[in-house]
Amino acid sequence: MSDCCVHWTGGAAMNSAHFVGMDEAALLVSDGMVLALGGVTLYRRPVAFVQALLSRTPRPHDLTLLAFTAGYASDLLVGAGCVRRVRSCYFGLEAYGFAPMFTQKAQQGELEITEETEASLVLGIRAALSNVSFLPSRAWQGTDMQRLRPDVVSMIDPYDGQSVTAFPAITCDVAVLHGLAADSAGNVLLNNNLGVDPELSLLADTVIVTVERRVDQLVPSADGYILPSAVVEAIVVAPRGAWPTGCHPVYPVGGGQLLAYVDACASGDFDGYLRRFTDQST
């Protein structure tokens, strides 16, 4: 990251976020909550936060996992039995194959899976941000998706008389993101592989961000996106906090570590892997 990204010329946000320890941040997630994990597939995932969450005694349970795309960190939560319901349009490890624990528990009927597409997630989030109960779209018209989602209904557009799909608003209790840096005022620098992180920061009641480092000040740059402190509740400094998912330009995806995870699950040793994973946080 260039030095031009570490000097902020504007004023501090009105409600600055505060820096906390990882264990304190993990306590903000309670049983039964809707938990959103930021990042995209295998990039900039809040892995260190998930590690702290899984190190809690007892671990949270009955969570609804909200992830536009779900991957390694989400699979750990599913395998550990923390998740009751999944809302995502993709759950996998990209080139490294299926997400093993999600696949296993889905096939065994141990998860409640809400069928989603990019359209249903985006419109549901936008509806909540617009403070309305739904947003209409022509998406899903002419498909069988509504047979899988009886809560999603069709309606007649009052202006052109055509049938549209009414996608219900999606709510979120806690969103956890990972960023490159945070300044003393609580502003957070993300890279440009944003996914829906800016939307999650506005959607969730509580926003937690783990960051690679703390700096004095940040400055807007084409190389990144600055999340203002007003939307962030808590910041945790966690170097390599997304590893083994990638965090450009700080480090790439740790392919060997992801393959080791897949191999452990394939051999029936998820519990052993999880024990080793959580031991790293002590």
- In DSSP notation, the chain reads --GGGS---SPPPSS--EE--HHHHHTT--TT-EEEE-SBTTBS--HHHHHHHHHSSSPP-SEEEE-SSB-HHHHHHHHTT-EEEEEES-BB-GGG-B-HHHHHHHHTT-SEEEE--HHHHHHHHHHHHTTSSEEEESTTTTSSHHHH-TTSEEEE-TTT--EEEEEEP---SEEEEEEEEEETT--EEE-S--TTHHHHHHH-SEEEEEEEEEES-----TT-EEEPGGG-SEEEE-TTTTTTSBBTTTB---HHHHHHHHHHHHTT-HHHHHHHHHHTT-
pLDDT attached to residue 97 = 95
Both 87 and 45 in one domain: the answer is yes
- Joined together, the tokens standing for residue 210 give 């783990």
Confidence at 1, pLDDT banded by 50, 70, 90: very low
Domain assignment of residue 118, yes or no: yes
What mean pLDDT is predicted for residues 84-93? 98
Confidence at 16, pLDDT banded by 50, 70, 90: low
**Which amino acid, residue 199?**
E
Domain assignment of residue 80, yes or no: yes
Domain assignment of residue 42, yes or no: yes
Name the least confident of 12-16, 21-25, 29-33, 149-153. 12-16
What mean pLDDT is predicted for residues 187-211? 97
Domain assignment of residue 148, yes or no: yes
What mean pLDDT is predicted for residues 91-115? 97
Domain assignment of residue 117, yes or no: yes
Confidence at 184, pLDDT banded by 50, 70, 90: very high
Both 94 and 204 in one domain: the answer is yes
Query: What is the chain's mean pLDDT, rounded?
Result: 93
Both 127 and 148 in one domain: the answer is no
Confidence at 8, pLDDT banded by 50, 70, 90: very low
Both 35 and 146 in one domain: the answer is no
pLDDT of 255 over the 70 cut: yes
Name the least confident of 14-18, 101-105, 162-166. 14-18
Q: Are 63 and 37 within 8 A, CB to CB?
A: no
Residue 58's nearest CA partner among 85, 30, 38 is 30
Q: How far apart are CA 92 and CA 29, in angstroms?
A: 24
Distances (CA, A) of 149 to 67, 68, 115, 143: 18, 17, 7, 12
Domain assignment of residue 238, yes or no: no
Question: Radius of gyration over alpha carbons of the chain, in Å?
Answer: 19
84 alpha carbon, distance to own chain's centre: 16
Q: Are 179 and 190 within 8 A, CB to CB?
A: yes
pLDDT of 42 over the 80 cut: yes
pTM of the model: 0.91
pLDDT attached to residue 11 = 33
Both 21 and 123 in one domain: the answer is yes
The better pLDDT of the pair 239, 223 is held by: 239
pLDDT attached to residue 13 = 35
Both 157 and 66 in one domain: the answer is no
Both 162 and 174 in one domain: the answer is no
Both 151 and 71 in one domain: the answer is no
| Total number of domains constituting the chain | 2
Domain assignment of residue 74, yes or no: yes
Q: Which domain CATH number covers 56?
A: 3.40.1080.10
Both 63 and 203 in one domain: the answer is yes
Confidence at 222, pLDDT banded by 50, 70, 90: confident
pLDDT of 183 over the 50 cut: yes
Domain assignment of residue 183, yes or no: no
Both 89 and 126 in one domain: the answer is yes
pLDDT attached to residue 177 = 98
pLDDT of 178 over the 80 cut: yes
Confidence at 10, pLDDT banded by 50, 70, 90: very low
Confidence at 221, pLDDT banded by 50, 70, 90: confident
Question: Among 150, 168, 186, which residue terminates a domain?
Answer: 168
Both 42 and 102 in one domain: the answer is yes
pLDDT of 142 over the 70 cut: yes
Both 156 and 173 in one domain: the answer is no
- Joined together, the tokens standing for residue 103 give 């696949």
Residue-range definition of the domain harbouring residue 148: 134-168
